[in-house]
Structure 1
Amino acid sequence: MTSTFSREDAFAGWSRLHGGIDPATSVWIRGWVRIAHACAGPLVRIGVGPSAATVLGVMVTAAVPVVALAGGAWPLLALMLVLLGAVLDGVDGAIALRTGTASRWGRVLDPFADRCSDLLLILTLVILGAPMWLGVALALTTLMLESVRASAQAAGMEGPGALTWWERPSRVIVTAFATASSGIVWCARELGVTVLPWIDGASLATLYAIVAGILAVVGLVHLLVAVHMQLRR
Protein backbone atom coordinates (compact mmCIF):
# COMPACT_ATOMS: atom_id res chain seq x y z
CA MET A 1 0.00 0.00 0.00
CA THR A 2 2.78 2.44 0.89
CA SER A 3 4.64 1.93 -2.40
CA THR A 4 1.69 3.20 -4.46
CA PHE A 5 0.72 6.04 -2.14
CA SER A 6 0.67 9.15 -4.36
CA ARG A 7 0.55 12.86 -3.68
CA GLU A 8 -3.11 12.86 -4.66
CA ASP A 9 -3.76 10.11 -2.10
CA ALA A 10 -2.07 12.22 0.54
CA PHE A 11 -4.18 15.28 -0.30
CA ALA A 12 -7.40 13.24 -0.40
CA GLY A 13 -6.62 11.58 2.93
CA TRP A 14 -5.82 14.90 4.60
CA SER A 15 -9.04 16.36 3.22
CA ARG A 16 -11.12 13.49 4.66
CA LEU A 17 -9.64 14.10 8.10
CA HIS A 18 -10.26 17.85 7.94
CA GLY A 19 -13.87 18.19 6.91
CA GLY A 20 -13.38 18.18 3.16
CA ILE A 21 -10.95 21.12 3.08
CA ASP A 22 -8.81 20.90 -0.06
CA PRO A 23 -5.11 21.29 0.88
CA ALA A 24 -4.29 22.26 -2.70
CA THR A 25 -6.00 25.62 -2.12
CA SER A 26 -3.29 26.72 0.35
CA VAL A 27 0.42 26.75 -0.41
CA TRP A 28 1.17 26.32 3.30
CA ILE A 29 -1.13 23.32 3.82
CA ARG A 30 -0.06 21.80 0.52
CA GLY A 31 3.60 22.04 1.48
CA TRP A 32 2.93 20.74 4.98
CA VAL A 33 1.07 17.66 3.70
CA ARG A 34 3.89 16.92 1.28
CA ILE A 35 6.55 17.19 4.01
CA ALA A 36 4.55 15.03 6.43
CA HIS A 37 4.05 12.24 3.91
CA ALA A 38 7.65 12.39 2.71
CA CYS A 39 8.82 11.92 6.31
CA ALA A 40 6.22 9.23 6.96
CA GLY A 41 7.56 6.94 4.24
CA PRO A 42 10.82 5.91 5.97
CA LEU A 43 9.06 5.49 9.32
CA VAL A 44 6.46 3.20 7.78
CA ARG A 45 9.19 1.08 6.26
CA ILE A 46 10.82 0.47 9.66
CA GLY A 47 7.48 -0.31 11.29
CA VAL A 48 6.75 2.85 13.29
CA GLY A 49 3.02 3.16 14.02
CA PRO A 50 0.97 6.37 14.21
CA SER A 51 0.55 6.23 18.01
CA ALA A 52 4.30 5.77 18.50
CA ALA A 53 4.96 8.82 16.32
CA THR A 54 2.40 10.83 18.32
CA VAL A 55 3.99 9.96 21.65
CA LEU A 56 7.49 10.59 20.30
CA GLY A 57 6.40 14.01 19.08
CA VAL A 58 5.21 14.99 22.58
CA MET A 59 8.42 13.67 24.13
CA VAL A 60 10.53 15.74 21.75
CA THR A 61 8.41 18.85 22.42
CA ALA A 62 8.70 18.25 26.18
CA ALA A 63 12.46 18.72 25.83
CA VAL A 64 12.01 22.18 24.28
CA PRO A 65 11.38 24.20 27.49
CA VAL A 66 14.05 22.19 29.33
CA VAL A 67 16.68 23.04 26.72
CA ALA A 68 15.51 26.67 26.47
CA LEU A 69 15.91 27.01 30.24
CA ALA A 70 19.67 26.57 29.87
CA GLY A 71 19.85 30.00 28.22
CA GLY A 72 22.79 31.19 26.16
CA ALA A 73 22.83 29.62 22.71
CA TRP A 74 20.77 26.61 23.85
CA PRO A 75 17.50 28.06 22.50
CA LEU A 76 18.91 27.38 19.03
CA LEU A 77 18.89 23.67 19.86
CA ALA A 78 15.39 24.16 21.27
CA LEU A 79 14.45 25.56 17.84
CA MET A 80 15.54 22.31 16.19
CA LEU A 81 13.45 20.34 18.68
CA VAL A 82 10.41 22.56 18.03
CA LEU A 83 10.64 21.81 14.32
CA LEU A 84 11.24 18.08 14.86
CA GLY A 85 8.26 17.85 17.21
CA ALA A 86 6.10 19.66 14.64
CA VAL A 87 7.11 17.23 11.91
CA LEU A 88 6.29 14.25 14.10
CA ASP A 89 2.94 15.86 14.90
CA GLY A 90 2.04 15.77 11.21
CA VAL A 91 3.68 12.44 10.48
CA ASP A 92 1.40 10.40 12.75
CA GLY A 93 -1.65 11.12 10.61
CA ALA A 94 0.34 10.46 7.44
CA ILE A 95 1.45 7.09 8.79
CA ALA A 96 -2.15 6.17 9.65
CA LEU A 97 -3.29 7.07 6.13
CA ARG A 98 -0.45 5.19 4.44
CA THR A 99 -0.92 2.03 6.49
CA GLY A 100 -4.70 2.14 6.88
CA THR A 101 -4.32 2.02 10.68
CA ALA A 102 -6.43 5.07 11.60
CA SER A 103 -8.41 4.25 14.74
CA ARG A 104 -10.84 5.79 17.19
CA TRP A 105 -8.11 5.67 19.84
CA GLY A 106 -5.86 7.66 17.52
CA ARG A 107 -8.57 10.29 17.20
CA VAL A 108 -8.44 10.71 20.98
CA LEU A 109 -4.68 10.44 21.42
CA ASP A 110 -3.77 12.90 18.67
CA PRO A 111 -5.70 15.95 19.98
CA PHE A 112 -4.61 15.15 23.54
CA ALA A 113 -0.99 15.10 22.39
CA ASP A 114 -1.53 18.33 20.46
CA ARG A 115 -2.82 20.11 23.56
CA CYS A 116 0.15 18.87 25.60
CA SER A 117 2.47 20.19 22.90
CA ASP A 118 0.61 23.52 22.78
CA LEU A 119 1.09 24.05 26.50
CA LEU A 120 4.77 23.06 26.31
CA LEU A 121 5.36 25.59 23.53
CA ILE A 122 3.64 28.33 25.53
CA LEU A 123 5.72 27.37 28.57
CA THR A 124 8.80 27.86 26.41
CA LEU A 125 7.77 31.46 25.70
CA VAL A 126 7.51 32.07 29.46
CA ILE A 127 10.91 30.49 30.08
CA LEU A 128 12.42 32.71 27.40
CA GLY A 129 11.12 35.77 29.25
CA ALA A 130 7.46 36.37 28.47
CA PRO A 131 5.39 37.33 31.57
CA MET A 132 3.73 34.45 33.37
CA TRP A 133 0.31 36.12 33.25
CA LEU A 134 0.60 36.47 29.49
CA GLY A 135 1.53 32.81 29.14
CA VAL A 136 -1.43 31.76 31.29
CA ALA A 137 -3.81 33.96 29.27
CA LEU A 138 -2.46 32.53 26.02
CA ALA A 139 -2.81 28.97 27.29
CA LEU A 140 -6.41 29.54 28.40
CA THR A 141 -7.40 31.15 25.11
CA THR A 142 -5.79 28.30 23.15
CA LEU A 143 -7.59 25.69 25.23
CA MET A 144 -10.89 27.58 24.86
CA LEU A 145 -10.49 27.62 21.09
CA GLU A 146 -9.90 23.89 20.94
CA SER A 147 -12.69 23.25 23.46
CA VAL A 148 -15.18 25.12 21.24
CA ARG A 149 -14.04 23.08 18.25
CA ALA A 150 -14.33 19.76 20.10
CA SER A 151 -17.76 20.65 21.50
CA ALA A 152 -19.00 21.69 18.06
CA GLN A 153 -17.75 18.45 16.53
CA ALA A 154 -19.52 16.49 19.25
CA ALA A 155 -22.68 18.44 18.38
CA GLY A 156 -22.45 17.34 14.77
CA MET A 157 -20.08 19.76 13.06
CA GLU A 158 -17.86 18.12 10.45
CA GLY A 159 -14.20 19.04 10.22
CA PRO A 160 -12.42 21.86 12.08
CA GLY A 161 -15.16 24.44 11.50
CA ALA A 162 -12.68 27.03 10.29
CA LEU A 163 -8.95 27.32 9.81
CA THR A 164 -8.15 30.27 12.06
CA TRP A 165 -5.00 32.33 12.49
CA TRP A 166 -4.16 30.38 15.63
CA GLU A 167 -3.80 26.76 14.54
CA ARG A 168 -0.97 24.31 15.26
CA PRO A 169 1.34 25.74 12.54
CA SER A 170 0.99 29.25 13.99
CA ARG A 171 1.81 28.01 17.49
CA VAL A 172 4.91 26.25 16.21
CA ILE A 173 6.03 29.24 14.13
CA VAL A 174 5.73 31.70 17.05
CA THR A 175 7.81 29.49 19.34
CA ALA A 176 10.31 28.80 16.57
CA PHE A 177 10.85 32.52 16.06
CA ALA A 178 11.12 33.10 19.81
CA THR A 179 13.76 30.41 20.35
CA ALA A 180 15.69 31.46 17.25
CA SER A 181 15.66 35.13 18.28
CA SER A 182 16.79 34.38 21.82
CA GLY A 183 19.71 32.26 20.65
CA ILE A 184 20.74 34.68 17.89
CA VAL A 185 20.66 37.72 20.20
CA TRP A 186 22.86 35.93 22.74
CA CYS A 187 25.34 34.81 20.07
CA ALA A 188 25.47 38.28 18.54
CA ARG A 189 26.27 39.90 21.87
CA GLU A 190 28.95 37.31 22.57
CA LEU A 191 30.54 38.37 19.28
CA GLY A 192 30.26 42.03 20.24
CA VAL A 193 27.44 42.81 17.82
CA THR A 194 24.69 44.96 19.33
CA VAL A 195 22.32 46.53 16.84
CA LEU A 196 19.54 47.43 19.30
CA PRO A 197 20.96 47.43 22.85
CA TRP A 198 17.52 47.66 24.48
CA ILE A 199 16.32 44.49 22.74
CA ASP A 200 17.06 41.15 24.39
CA GLY A 201 15.70 37.63 24.25
CA ALA A 202 13.16 38.28 27.01
CA SER A 203 11.66 41.34 25.33
CA LEU A 204 11.43 39.48 22.04
CA ALA A 205 9.74 36.53 23.75
CA THR A 206 7.23 38.96 25.25
CA LEU A 207 6.61 40.50 21.83
CA TYR A 208 6.00 37.08 20.29
CA ALA A 209 3.67 36.15 23.14
CA ILE A 210 1.67 39.35 22.59
CA VAL A 211 1.38 38.58 18.86
CA ALA A 212 0.33 35.03 19.74
CA GLY A 213 -2.29 36.36 22.14
CA ILE A 214 -3.78 38.59 19.45
CA LEU A 215 -3.85 35.70 16.98
CA ALA A 216 -5.45 33.43 19.59
CA VAL A 217 -8.24 35.91 20.41
CA VAL A 218 -8.95 36.61 16.75
CA GLY A 219 -8.89 32.87 16.06
CA LEU A 220 -11.32 32.14 18.87
CA VAL A 221 -13.78 34.77 17.63
CA HIS A 222 -13.43 33.48 14.07
CA LEU A 223 -14.14 29.93 15.15
CA LEU A 224 -17.13 30.92 17.28
CA VAL A 225 -18.68 32.75 14.32
CA ALA A 226 -18.00 29.80 11.99
CA VAL A 227 -19.45 27.28 14.47
CA HIS A 228 -22.54 29.43 14.98
CA MET A 229 -23.10 29.66 11.24
CA GLN A 230 -22.75 25.89 10.77
CA LEU A 231 -24.75 24.66 13.77
CA ARG A 232 -27.65 27.10 13.72
CA ARG A 233 -29.12 25.38 10.66
Structure 2
Amino acid sequence: MLSREEYLAAWSTWHGGADPTTSRLVHGWLSGVYALARRFAGLPPVAVTAGGLLVAVAAVVPAAAGGPWLVLAGVLVGFSAVLDGLDGALAIATGRASRRGFVLDSAVDRLGEGAFAAALWVAGAPGWLAAAFGALCWLPDYLRARAGQAGVTETGELSVWERPTRVVMTGFTLGGAGVVAGFGWAGAVVTCGTAVGCLLGVVGVAQLGTALRRALAD
Protein backbone atom coordinates (compact mmCIF):
# COMPACT_ATOMS: atom_id res chain seq x y z
CA MET A 1 0.00 0.00 0.00
CA LEU A 2 1.23 3.49 -0.84
CA SER A 3 2.47 5.80 1.87
CA ARG A 4 0.42 8.93 2.58
CA GLU A 5 2.83 11.11 0.59
CA GLU A 6 2.77 8.68 -2.34
CA TYR A 7 -1.01 8.57 -2.17
CA LEU A 8 -1.28 12.39 -2.28
CA ALA A 9 1.09 12.49 -5.24
CA ALA A 10 -0.93 9.83 -7.07
CA TRP A 11 -4.17 11.68 -6.26
CA SER A 12 -2.67 14.81 -7.81
CA THR A 13 -1.78 12.87 -10.96
CA TRP A 14 -5.34 11.56 -11.30
CA HIS A 15 -6.75 15.08 -10.77
CA GLY A 16 -4.94 17.08 -13.39
CA GLY A 17 -1.90 17.95 -11.32
CA ALA A 18 -3.93 19.75 -8.62
CA ASP A 19 -1.88 20.21 -5.46
CA PRO A 20 -3.93 19.12 -2.41
CA THR A 21 -1.59 20.97 -0.04
CA THR A 22 -2.90 24.33 -1.29
CA SER A 23 -6.21 23.74 0.49
CA ARG A 24 -6.25 22.79 4.18
CA LEU A 25 -9.74 21.35 3.84
CA VAL A 26 -8.89 19.16 0.86
CA HIS A 27 -5.54 18.10 2.32
CA GLY A 28 -7.15 17.22 5.65
CA TRP A 29 -9.95 15.37 3.91
CA LEU A 30 -7.58 13.29 1.80
CA SER A 31 -5.40 12.49 4.80
CA GLY A 32 -8.47 11.33 6.71
CA VAL A 33 -9.79 9.01 4.00
CA TYR A 34 -6.29 7.64 3.48
CA ALA A 35 -6.19 6.66 7.16
CA LEU A 36 -9.54 4.90 6.70
CA ALA A 37 -8.29 3.15 3.56
CA ARG A 38 -5.43 1.62 5.54
CA ARG A 39 -7.98 0.04 7.87
CA PHE A 40 -10.32 -1.20 5.14
CA ALA A 41 -7.84 -2.09 2.42
CA GLY A 42 -9.67 -5.30 1.56
CA LEU A 43 -12.93 -3.65 0.53
CA PRO A 44 -13.67 -3.46 -3.22
CA PRO A 45 -13.74 0.24 -4.25
CA VAL A 46 -16.77 -0.18 -6.54
CA ALA A 47 -18.90 -1.50 -3.66
CA VAL A 48 -17.96 1.53 -1.56
CA THR A 49 -18.81 3.80 -4.51
CA ALA A 50 -22.28 2.27 -4.80
CA GLY A 51 -22.81 2.53 -1.05
CA GLY A 52 -21.91 6.22 -1.06
CA LEU A 53 -24.48 6.98 -3.75
CA LEU A 54 -27.22 5.04 -1.96
CA VAL A 55 -26.55 6.90 1.29
CA ALA A 56 -26.58 10.28 -0.51
CA VAL A 57 -29.95 9.50 -2.09
CA ALA A 58 -31.27 8.21 1.23
CA ALA A 59 -30.56 11.62 2.80
CA VAL A 60 -33.45 13.07 0.78
CA VAL A 61 -35.98 11.09 2.85
CA PRO A 62 -35.29 12.61 6.29
CA ALA A 63 -34.74 16.00 4.61
CA ALA A 64 -38.30 15.81 3.28
CA ALA A 65 -39.58 14.82 6.73
CA GLY A 66 -38.15 18.07 8.11
CA GLY A 67 -37.92 19.05 11.76
CA PRO A 68 -35.35 17.17 13.83
CA TRP A 69 -35.04 14.64 11.01
CA LEU A 70 -32.90 17.20 9.22
CA VAL A 71 -30.06 16.32 11.60
CA LEU A 72 -30.14 12.75 10.27
CA ALA A 73 -30.14 14.10 6.71
CA GLY A 74 -26.98 16.07 7.48
CA VAL A 75 -25.33 13.02 9.03
CA LEU A 76 -26.18 10.90 5.97
CA VAL A 77 -24.69 13.52 3.67
CA GLY A 78 -21.49 13.42 5.68
CA PHE A 79 -21.41 9.62 5.72
CA SER A 80 -21.97 9.45 1.96
CA ALA A 81 -18.98 11.73 1.48
CA VAL A 82 -16.81 9.55 3.71
CA LEU A 83 -17.70 6.53 1.57
CA ASP A 84 -17.06 8.52 -1.59
CA GLY A 85 -13.64 9.60 -0.37
CA LEU A 86 -12.86 6.10 0.85
CA ASP A 87 -13.49 4.46 -2.52
CA GLY A 88 -11.00 6.73 -4.27
CA ALA A 89 -8.45 6.32 -1.48
CA LEU A 90 -8.79 2.53 -1.64
CA ALA A 91 -8.37 2.49 -5.40
CA ILE A 92 -5.33 4.77 -5.49
CA ALA A 93 -3.53 3.67 -2.33
CA THR A 94 -3.87 -0.05 -3.08
CA GLY A 95 -2.94 0.23 -6.75
CA ARG A 96 -6.42 -0.59 -8.06
CA ALA A 97 -7.11 2.77 -9.69
CA SER A 98 -8.21 2.62 -13.33
CA ARG A 99 -9.56 5.01 -15.92
CA ARG A 100 -12.90 3.19 -15.86
CA GLY A 101 -13.13 3.50 -12.09
CA PHE A 102 -12.13 7.16 -12.23
CA VAL A 103 -14.93 7.95 -14.70
CA LEU A 104 -17.45 5.91 -12.69
CA ASP A 105 -16.48 7.66 -9.46
CA SER A 106 -16.83 11.08 -11.11
CA ALA A 107 -20.28 10.19 -12.46
CA VAL A 108 -21.42 8.94 -9.05
CA ASP A 109 -20.12 12.14 -7.42
CA ARG A 110 -22.30 14.23 -9.74
CA LEU A 111 -25.35 12.07 -9.01
CA GLY A 112 -24.67 12.38 -5.30
CA GLU A 113 -24.48 16.16 -5.58
CA GLY A 114 -27.79 16.10 -7.39
CA ALA A 115 -29.18 14.30 -4.34
CA PHE A 116 -27.65 17.02 -2.12
CA ALA A 117 -29.50 19.71 -4.10
CA ALA A 118 -32.73 17.71 -3.89
CA ALA A 119 -32.33 17.34 -0.13
CA LEU A 120 -31.87 21.10 0.27
CA TRP A 121 -34.96 21.72 -1.88
CA VAL A 122 -37.28 19.38 0.01
CA ALA A 123 -35.89 20.76 3.28
CA GLY A 124 -37.11 24.25 2.40
CA ALA A 125 -34.72 25.98 -0.01
CA PRO A 126 -36.42 27.68 -2.99
CA GLY A 127 -36.37 25.46 -6.05
CA TRP A 128 -34.37 27.90 -8.16
CA LEU A 129 -31.75 28.28 -5.42
CA ALA A 130 -31.39 24.54 -4.92
CA ALA A 131 -31.10 24.10 -8.70
CA ALA A 132 -28.37 26.76 -8.81
CA PHE A 133 -26.56 24.97 -5.97
CA GLY A 134 -26.67 21.69 -7.90
CA ALA A 135 -25.52 23.34 -11.13
CA LEU A 136 -22.58 24.98 -9.37
CA CYS A 137 -21.61 21.58 -7.95
CA TRP A 138 -21.52 20.14 -11.46
CA LEU A 139 -19.99 23.05 -13.38
CA PRO A 140 -16.37 22.94 -12.10
CA ASP A 141 -15.91 19.29 -12.98
CA TYR A 142 -17.59 19.79 -16.34
CA LEU A 143 -15.20 22.64 -17.11
CA ARG A 144 -12.22 20.53 -16.06
CA ALA A 145 -13.40 17.66 -18.27
CA ARG A 146 -13.86 19.92 -21.31
CA ALA A 147 -10.50 21.59 -20.70
CA GLY A 148 -8.92 18.14 -20.55
CA GLN A 149 -10.44 17.32 -23.93
CA ALA A 150 -8.90 20.56 -25.22
CA GLY A 151 -5.48 19.37 -24.10
CA VAL A 152 -5.14 21.03 -20.71
CA THR A 153 -3.31 18.66 -18.38
CA GLU A 154 -3.18 20.91 -15.29
CA THR A 155 -6.07 22.83 -13.72
CA GLY A 156 -4.10 25.03 -11.34
CA GLU A 157 -4.70 25.46 -7.63
CA LEU A 158 -7.78 24.05 -5.95
CA SER A 159 -10.67 26.50 -5.57
CA VAL A 160 -12.83 27.28 -2.55
CA TRP A 161 -15.57 25.11 -4.05
CA GLU A 162 -14.09 21.62 -4.23
CA ARG A 163 -16.12 18.56 -3.28
CA PRO A 164 -15.26 18.64 0.46
CA THR A 165 -16.62 22.20 0.65
CA ARG A 166 -19.83 21.16 -1.12
CA VAL A 167 -20.31 18.31 1.32
CA VAL A 168 -19.59 20.47 4.37
CA MET A 169 -22.03 23.16 3.22
CA THR A 170 -24.80 20.64 2.55
CA GLY A 171 -24.29 18.60 5.69
CA PHE A 172 -23.97 21.52 8.07
CA THR A 173 -26.88 23.37 6.47
CA LEU A 174 -29.22 20.41 6.89
CA GLY A 175 -27.92 19.45 10.31
CA GLY A 176 -28.00 23.04 11.57
CA ALA A 177 -31.55 23.46 10.32
CA GLY A 178 -32.56 20.35 12.26
CA VAL A 179 -31.02 21.72 15.45
CA VAL A 180 -33.04 24.96 15.27
CA ALA A 181 -36.18 23.38 13.81
CA GLY A 182 -37.96 23.68 17.15
CA PHE A 183 -37.69 27.47 16.93
CA GLY A 184 -39.21 27.59 13.46
CA TRP A 185 -35.93 28.66 11.84
CA ALA A 186 -35.25 25.55 9.75
CA GLY A 187 -36.43 27.03 6.46
CA ALA A 188 -34.39 30.20 6.92
CA VAL A 189 -31.24 28.24 7.81
CA VAL A 190 -31.63 25.96 4.79
CA THR A 191 -32.17 28.92 2.47
CA CYS A 192 -29.23 30.88 3.89
CA GLY A 193 -26.92 27.87 3.79
CA THR A 194 -27.86 27.10 0.20
CA ALA A 195 -27.31 30.73 -0.77
CA VAL A 196 -23.86 30.78 0.86
CA GLY A 197 -23.02 27.59 -1.00
CA CYS A 198 -24.03 29.22 -4.27
CA LEU A 199 -21.85 32.23 -3.48
CA LEU A 200 -18.88 29.99 -2.81
CA GLY A 201 -19.70 28.14 -6.03
CA VAL A 202 -19.58 31.34 -8.06
CA VAL A 203 -16.23 32.29 -6.49
CA GLY A 204 -14.85 28.79 -7.08
CA VAL A 205 -15.94 28.76 -10.73
CA ALA A 206 -14.34 32.18 -11.21
CA GLN A 207 -11.07 30.89 -9.69
CA LEU A 208 -11.12 27.81 -11.91
CA GLY A 209 -12.10 29.83 -14.97
CA THR A 210 -9.12 32.15 -14.48
CA ALA A 211 -6.73 29.20 -14.23
CA LEU A 212 -8.21 27.48 -17.28
CA ARG A 213 -8.14 30.67 -19.33
CA ARG A 214 -4.42 31.00 -18.70
CA ALA A 215 -3.87 27.33 -19.53
CA LEU A 216 -5.89 27.52 -22.75
CA ALA A 217 -4.05 30.66 -23.85
CA ASP A 218 -0.66 28.91 -23.76
Give the equivalent residue in structure 1 for 2:36: 39
Question: TM-score normalised to the size of structure 1?
Answer: 0.86
Gaps of at least 5 residues in structure 2 are: none
Whether the 8 Å contact between 1:17 and 1:159 is mirrored in structure 2 is: no
Alignment of 1:1-233 (within 5 A): 2=1, 5-45=2-42, 48-186=43-181, 189=182, 200-233=185-218
Q: How many residues align?
A: 218
User: For residues 139 and 227 of structure 1, do their structure 2 counterparts lie closer, same or farther at Cα, with a shift above 3 Å needed?
Assistant: same
Determine the C-alpha separation between the residues in 1 that align with 2:41 and 2:91: 9
1:161 deviates by 4.1
CA deviation map 1:137-173 (0-9, x unaligned): 2223333332211100111112444422222111111
Determine the C-alpha separation between the residues in 1 that align with 2:157 and 2:53: 25
Determine the C-alpha separation between the residues in 2 that align with 1:26 and 1:212: 17
User: For residues 142 and 27 of structure 1, do their structure 2 counterparts lie closer, same or farther at Cα, with a shift above 3 Å needed?
Assistant: closer
User: For residues 115 and 160 of structure 1, do their structure 2 counterparts lie closer, same or farther at Cα, with a shift above 3 Å needed?
Assistant: farther
Amino acid at match of 2:195: I
Q: Which of the pair has more CA radius of gyration? A: 1
Whether the 8 Å contact between 1:141 and 1:216 is mirrored in structure 2 is: yes
Gaps of at least 5 residues in structure 1 are: none
RMSD: 1.8
1:25 deviates by 4.2
1:114 deviates by 0.8
Determine the C-alpha separation between the residues in 2 that align with 1:212 and 1:183: 18
